[in-house]
Amino acid sequence: MIDTVENAEATPGQEQPYRELGLKDDEYARIKEILKRRPTDAELAMYSVMWSEHCSYKSSKVHLKYFGDTTTDEMRSKMLAGIGENAGVVDVGDGWAVTFKVESHNHPSYVEPYQGAATGVGGIVRDILAMGARPLAVMDPLRFGRPDAEDTKRVLPGIVAGVGGYGNCLGLPNIGGEVVFDESYQGNPLVNALCVGAMRVEDLHLAHASGTGNKVILYGARTGLDGIGGVSVLASETFDDTAGKRKKLPSVQVGDPFTEKVLIECSLELFEKGIVAGIQDLGGAGLSCATSELASAGDGGMHVRLDRVPLRATGMTPAEILSSESQERMCAVVEPANVEAFLEVCAKWDVIATEIGEVTEGDRLVITYHDEVVVDVPPRTVAHEGPVYHRPIQRPADQDELQANTPDSLPRPAKDELLALIKTMAASPNLASKKWVTQQYDRYVRGGTVLAQPSDSGMIRIDEETGRGVALSTDCNGRYTKLDPYEGARLALAEAYRNVAATGATPVAVTNCLNFGSPEDPAVMWQFEQAVKGLADGCAELGIPVTGGNVSFYNQTGSTAILPTPVVGVLGVIDDVRRRIPTGIGAEAGETLLLLGETHEEFGGSEWAHHVHGHLGGLPPKADLKREKLLGEILVAGSRDGMISAAHDLSEGGLAQALVETCLIGEVGARVFPEGDLFTALFSESAGRVLVAVPRTEEQRFVDMCTARRLPWRKVGVVDPESNALEVQGLGELPLDELREAWEGTLPALFG
Amino acid sequence: MRVGVITFPGTLDDVDAQRAVRYADGEAVPLWHGDHDLKGVDAVIVPGGFSYGDYLRCGAIARFAPVMQEVIEAANKGMPVLGICNGFQVLAEAHLLPGALTRNHKLHFVCRDQWLKVENTSTAWTTRYDEGAEILVPLKSGEGGYQADEDTLKELEDNGRVVFRYVGDNPNGSRNNIAGITNARGNVVGLMPHPEHAIDALTGPTDDGLGMFLSLLDTVVKA
């Protein structure tokens, strides 16, 4: 029997499995208080999933507020939509608006790597589409456990194939991302997916369900039993006698990129025809989320007829239909006069479209199933007024000990070991070439890709006439963040900012994906609070706003939390992509190598300490954001005036790694002459540094600019097109063939 | 020069093929999979992607699309037709070109800049190249391994119908390192790599691919 509102009123004492659905006693009590009766099964399903940590941000909300508090009007001036919308939107000039966001799909990807990663890509792409934009490119910051662990051989190839399988078939270029290994991710890999899209400013669509009488149309794939997750508890109760006969489907959703590609083109045609009044994608929490969010964002109520939803399984209960996370679905609000035209476009693309309800007067979300009312709620209580927790916060007891355990006492290599160390580090899994991964991703489709991995940032052309484009980079060093969450988050921001500037683009906006352990652990909440503060304060210093983001808690291997991993994505604008700065040297004859910024002895959390000594302790490098800003301005000015022929940011592995990469990517040799303590010069990870190649004819003009603007610089070498080696004065030379074998050989040796 | 570019549901590189036609001073005419006529075009490109999701077998459904019946008829009468990647798979399924494309031998999707040797410069699509020229264009496919029986391979090799051959290590297990072939008449060409992604060094590895679209211009002007 279907549990109707009438039935709920008649049976106030009926026991409900709210605990199995993840609701706490007081949360359940609050639902009863809101409804003034017990919830129906369908309502319980909606509240439980919408009030989950993932959908309600109940542990993070009080902290995320800080992003808004620290964003000034000036920082907001280019922002067309911000936190709270499906994705942030930024005005990038020439009448273009760009929207971008990164989201996590960590837990499903551990259970089922291929589908978990694939649907992670699919979900973020629909978020971007729901803003009215054409999705243009994707990026994937990934974290894995030990590279040589048996389970990593299951997880990594599956996730990479899933990201590629979905994105390639969807027709979006993959232009960057990260692959990082650390033992803490062994039982909890991180799959973050970023998508960027563009639209004309006037075409921005926000999720609204205004206008009484407007129709609610569900279009895209049919709704099935996949991705129902916890709500199956309700099914087994309701269908006690038939439970054994029902096909149990995995709680990880299954993606169909072909359907999504068609959905994109169909939606864009609908937008172009101007027949969409409001739009919302169906992602986590499926129809529960879409209907309650659309209704709360509008000015009226909504009536939805669940029996009209096209299904691909028989015997689904209302609760299941509402909770299903079947992929590739969208929900639109359409004026009655436009419904026919809407359905025509969908028919052209063979997309199933069904009118499932309408916007009503009043302020209730009423959902019926064969004319029986199964949901009758104030939509805001579902979508926006969920519980808010002030979780206890406690700086970990061992934080002082961790910071006191500096890398100073680690044995340093002798001078005659340094050359070999360059090669060893280049071959270490975190620094090694990620070509094995990225060559499984299409980076060319749609013809707008100007830069892609292994460049510092991905860059996409938006306007073929003017050449306007955007650059994107995501970064985070979890070891730095572990040592000092505040500084670690600022460092992640600094690096992403620097990466964008290193391609000649001006950084304008920030998104984030905050991956942390359990919020019920006060130490984790301390990391979280510190990281949010660090990131927000950093953004204020740089003058660029956070436009959106995502929080993923409960990431842990056994009972041990992952390294705190606030992945930061920075978006930059370039008025003409033809002046982009490449990462590889050798594009012009006769280049000088300059190191911009200052090098200090900073090895806390470094790749050297990690790879050579398995050490994590001390303090991370210092981030000087004023310096980063100046560095960014110099790089953009240099690019504008054609003074820079290549640039590569210094990060993990220091100058040595930057040199190896710039030579190998450019396929030319170089002679370098580092000064001071050679180990520090080559391997320190001081922030705020970029290696640039300048044509000899521009050298004087460029260094004069740096000097005038007080940016420290030092000549560290010359590009040698005739040489096939990286020569380090005083140490000897490393043939490029040998370096390439070291750099590119690691991942294939591990993963086949 | 008016060049039709087909879009099936799931086609991805149609915008790229259209752009390449424009770069060669041609007019790109979009053709929809359900169309029953070719709108008077001089040539047709079947672009890359995953037509109908390629869930059955690459190109196996697309060959039955209404527009393909028109393409088959026109190709048999001599119209220049180019199949790129999924388009090559479609042309093979439609029997406009012999052989079949199979899963890459290492089972991974491969996206990389690939050197090709141009071995036939007399097809409708390759006259602008020097024989033996080496060009660098993107290859991006999961099922690019060219397979054919011995007789077919001999027929192709003996008659100069291998148009492009992979240089260096074989990226996908193709027989005889074959990257692209033509029909006996030389008007239909299919290849796995993507010349339309190499028309501008800004967005591709080179502009080596543009030669194919300029060759077509010559062919159409002469005809």
Q: Residue B199 belongs to a domain with what CATH number?
A: 3.40.50.880
What is the residue type of A614? G
Question: What range defines the domain where residue B156 resides?
Answer: 2-222
How many C-beta neighbours within 10 Å does residue B23 have?
Answer: 16
Whether B9 and A449 lie within 8 Å, measured CB to CB: no
The average pLDDT across B151-173 equals 98
CB contacts, 8 Å: A577 with chain B: 202
Quick one: which of B95, B67, B96 has its CA closest to B80? Answer: B96
Half-sphere exposure of A557 (CA within 13 A, CB side): 17
Give me A122's structure tokens.
Answer: 């699919």
pLDDT score at A225: 86
Of A169, A450, A461, nearest to B50 by CB-CB distance is A169
Query: Does pLDDT of A42 surpass 80?
Result: yes
CB contacts, 8 Å: A328 with chain B: none
pLDDT score at A206: 66
CA pair distance A156, A189, nearest whole angstrom: 9
The total of structural domains in chain B comes to 1
CB A299 within 8 A of CB A233: no
* Interface mutation target, options B52, B137, B202, chain A, most CBs of A under 10 Å: B202
pLDDT in tens, A708-745: 999 999 999 999 988 999 999 999 999 999 999 999 99
pLDDT in tens, A54-113: 889 999 999 999 999 999 999 999 998 877 677 889 999 999 999 999 999 999 899 899
pLDDT score at A230: 56
Query: Does pLDDT of A10 surpass 80?
Result: yes
Query: Does pLDDT of A503 surpass 80?
Result: yes
Query: pTM for the whole thing?
Result: 0.95
CA pair distance B109, B100, nearest whole angstrom: 17
* Interface mutation target, options B11, B55, B108, B137, chain A, most CBs of A under 10 Å: B108
Chain A nearest CA to B208, separation (Å): 15
Chain A nearest CA to B77, separation (Å): 31
Which pLDDT band holds residue A241 (cuts at 50, 70, 90)?
very low
Query: Does pLDDT of A37 surpass 50?
Result: yes
pLDDT score at A190: 98
The average pLDDT across B164-179 equals 97
CB contacts, 8 Å: B86 with chain A: none
Query: Does pLDDT of A209 surpass 70?
Result: no
CA pair distance A301, A296, nearest whole angstrom: 8
B194 is an active site residue: yes
The average pLDDT across A323-346 equals 95
Query: Does pLDDT of A208 surpass 90?
Result: no
Residue of B nearest to A446 (CA): B16
Query: Does pLDDT of A751 surpass 80?
Result: yes
pLDDT in tens, A129-138: 999 999 999 9
CA pair distance A307, A491, nearest whole angstrom: 51
How far does CA A471 lie from the centroid of its chain?
15
CB contacts, 8 Å: B113 with chain A: none
> Catalytic one among B33, B70, B93, B194?
B194
Query: Does pLDDT of A619 surpass 50?
Result: yes
CA pair distance A551, A341, nearest whole angstrom: 39
Q: For chain B, what is the HEC assignment?
A: CEEEEEECCCECCHHHHHHHHHHCCCEEEEEECCCCCCCCCCEEEECCECHHHHCCCCCCCHHHCHHHHHHHHHHHCCCCEEEECHHHHHHHHCCCCCCEEECCCCCCCEEEEEEEEECCCCCCCCCCCCCCCEEEEEEEECCCEEECCHHHHHHHHHCCCEEEEECCCCCCCCHHHEEEEECCCCCEEEECCCHHHCCCCCCCCCCCCHHHHHHHHHHHHHC
Query: Does pLDDT of A497 surpass 60?
Result: yes
pLDDT score at A450: 98
Of B53, B111, B196, nearest to A443 by CB-CB distance is B111
The proportion of chain B whose per-residue pLDDT surpasses 70, expressed as a percent, equals 100
Half-sphere exposure of B158 (CA within 13 A, CB side): 6
Lowest-confidence range among A107-111, A338-342, A692-696, B21-25?
A107-111
Whether A441 and B111 lie within 8 Å, measured CB to CB: yes
Give me A521's structure tokens.
Answer: 């652990």
Whether B203 and A168 lie within 8 Å, measured CB to CB: no
CA pair distance A20, A132, nearest whole angstrom: 37
Give me A222's structure tokens.
Answer: 């049919």
pLDDT score at A682: 98
pLDDT score at A202: 86
The average pLDDT across A164-187 equals 96
Whether B50 and A258 lie within 8 Å, measured CB to CB: yes
What is the residue type of A424? T
Whether B140 and A445 lie within 8 Å, measured CB to CB: yes
Which pLDDT band holds residue A237 (cuts at 50, 70, 90)?
very low
Chain A nearest CA to B184, separation (Å): 31
ipTM of the complex: 0.96
Whether B109 and A168 lie within 8 Å, measured CB to CB: yes
Whether A258 and B9 lie within 8 Å, measured CB to CB: yes
Query: Does pLDDT of A364 surpass 70?
Result: yes
Chain B nearest CA to A460, separation (Å): 9
Residue of B nearest to A458 (CA): B203
Query: Does pLDDT of A333 surpass 90?
Result: yes
CB contacts, 8 Å: A440 with chain B: 108-111
Of B16, B55, B108, nearest to A446 by CB-CB distance is B16
Query: Does pLDDT of A236 surpass 60?
Result: no
Whether B10 and A447 lie within 8 Å, measured CB to CB: no
Could you tell me which residues are beta bridge partners of residue A174? Answer: A138
Alpha helix locations (H) across A508-582? 522-542
CA pair distance B109, A608, nearest whole angstrom: 33
Query: Does pLDDT of B181 surpass 50?
Result: yes
Residue of A nearest to B34 (CA): A348
Q: Helix, strand or coil for residue A487?
A: helix
pLDDT score at A473: 98
Of B15, B54, B55, nearest to A446 by CB-CB distance is B15
Peptide bond just before A454 cis, omega within 30 deg: yes
CB A663 within 8 A of CB A739: yes
Of A168, A438, A577, nearest to B202 by CB-CB distance is A577
pLDDT mean across residues, chain A: 94
Q: Which residues of B touch A (CB under 8 A)?
A: 9-10, 12-13, 15-16, 19, 49-50, 52-55, 108-112, 138, 140, 142, 194, 196-197, 202-204
pLDDT in tens, A544-585: 999 999 999 999 988 899 999 999 999 999 999 999 999 999
Q: For A107-137, what is the HEC assignment?
A: HHHHHCHHHHHHHHHHHHHHHHHCCCCEEEE
Query: Does pLDDT of A233 surpass 60?
Result: no
CB-neighbour burial class of residue A247 (10 A; exposed 0-12, middle 13-18, buried 19+): exposed
pLDDT in tens, B33-79: 999 999 999 999 999 999 999 988 999 999 999 999 999 999 999 99
Whether B16 and A447 lie within 8 Å, measured CB to CB: yes
CB contacts, 8 Å: B138 with chain A: 444
* Interface mutation target, options B5, B12, B105, chain A, most CBs of A under 10 Å: B12
What is the residue type of B91? L
CA pair distance A490, A498, nearest whole angstrom: 12
Of A168, A349, A446, nearest to B9 by CB-CB distance is A349
Residue of B nearest to A439 (CA): B111
pLDDT score at A382: 94
Which pLDDT band holds residue A283 (cuts at 50, 70, 90)?
confident
Residues of A labelled as active-site residues? 54, 105
pLDDT score at A404: 98
Chain B nearest CA to A513, separation (Å): 28
What is the residue type of A565? T
The proportion of chain A whose per-residue pLDDT surpasses 90, expressed as a percent, equals 87
pLDDT score at A284: 79
Q: Which residues of A touch B (CB under 8 A)?
A: 161, 164-165, 168-169, 171, 256-259, 261-262, 349-350, 438-450, 461, 464, 577-578
* Interface mutation target, options A134, A263, A266, A442, chain B, most CBs of B under 10 Å: A442
CB A572 within 8 A of CB A455: no
Chain B nearest CA to A590, separation (Å): 21
CB contacts, 8 Å: B110 with chain A: 439-440
